[in-house]
Amino acid sequence: MSQSAIELKEDRHRPTWVRGFVERRLEFLCLGVAGASLLAFAGRWWWILDLFCHYRVYYAMFLLVGSITLLQWQRRKPAAIAMLMAIVNLVLVVPLQLRDPTAPASDTDVSTLRVMSLNVNTRNPHRESVANCIRKYQPDVLLMMEVNQSWLDDLHAVSLFADFEYQMEQPREDNFGIAIYSRHELTEQAVRSLSAHDLPTLVTTIHVDGHRFRFIGTHPVPPINGAMTRTRDIQLQAVAQLAAQSDIPCIVAGDLNTTSWSYCFGDLLKTSRLRDSRRGFGVQPTWFLFGGLLQIPIDHVLIPDQLTASGRFIGPDVGSDHRAVIVDLGILPHSR
């Protein structure tokens, strides 16, 4: 083969200027996303880094595609780093798709309880959509957050709560009003303030077919700065302590302003000894921004060993930036 033919062959395989530009930008983005997903593990020490942990699904998807593309372009080192961090994020995300191995078997259920948790968004004008959602799913226990007096007046006016004999209401005008409605008897009703912001957490005992459960509905402040992140953590740890010290099985529900991958959520599960009902049902995002381009799971229902989640799903768009969480719980015989 002549020298000119060899040079022509090499030119065909040499990246164009445009391709080289794209390769470098993709490499930069992959390394940046890999770094962000790694820094997210340090969220306990700086509140901004804790915000990074909420996007594990997005990290995994981007890094997986990016690593394959870089490998095809012979960028082996950045491809290897991207693939490694994609795997790290998948290790954190995939367990939500798998049934919790510590969960009790569901074939011994004797009773069922449907719990719905919904942050309606105080400024949401779509009262009818919220009412229709609640009527559609017919929860036994309904937790509503961000309710002010106007919200409650409008929903009572359409007789939405007529079938809920037991009610606890703490309306507020600052996005932290909260209410519980139950078809089952509620006793030992209490309003607790668990942080310096004096926000109401509702604590009560639900009686279901001879079973008793402590129910805690809570909504801490969003972690938008260091002080508010610490306030959120204090409230969640106080909730965890309440659950751990309860003399009967405990259910915790609400907009917790954190995802399953944050250090504070892990601390909550560890201290309370509760399980994430999301396990086995997928990520199920509940907070939607930018027309749904950003979706993360910050609304939760945590359950004890005496309950098993036989179904869990997310409600439709009701005008709020949140979607409802609906969980069907099986009550095991030994929960009395």
Query: Each residue of 25-63: pLDDT tens digit?
Result: 888 898 999 999 999 999 999 999 999 999 999 999 999
**pLDDT band with cut points at 50, 70 and 90 for residue 64:** very high
- Identify which has the larger pLDDT, 336 or 193: 193
Could you read off the pLDDT of 219-256 as tens digits, one per residue? Answer: 999 999 999 999 999 999 999 999 999 999 999 999 99
- 315 vs 198, residue with greater confidence: 315
**What's the pLDDT score for residue 15?**
58
pLDDT, residue 8, reads 46
* pLDDT tens track for 280-334: 999 999 999 877 788 999 999 999 999 999 999 999 999 999 999 999 999 877 6
Determine the pLDDT at residue 6.
47
Q: What is the Cα–Cα distance from 288 to 304, expressed in whole angstroms? A: 28
* pLDDT band, very low/low/confident/very high, at 7 (cuts 50, 70, 90): very low
Domain boundaries, the chain: 3-96, 103-335
**Calpha distance 119→47 (Å, rounded):** 24
Tokens 């000894």, residue located: 273
Q: What span, in angstroms and rounded, lies between the C-alpha atoms of 143 and 180?
A: 5
Q: Which residues of 156-173 are buried (b: 16+ CB within 10 A; e: fewer)?
A: eeeebbeebebebbbbee
CB 327 within 8 A of CB 312: yes
**Residue spans of beta strands (DSSP E) within 157-298:** 166-170, 178-182, 185-193, 200-208, 211-217, 250-255, 275-276, 287-289, 294-296
Alpha helices in the chain (DSSP H): 3-13, 17-39, 47-52, 56-72, 76-93, 127-137, 149-157, 226-245, 263-272
**CATH for the 103-335 domain, from 3.30.230.10, 3.30.360.10, 3.60.10.10, 2.60.40.10:** 3.60.10.10
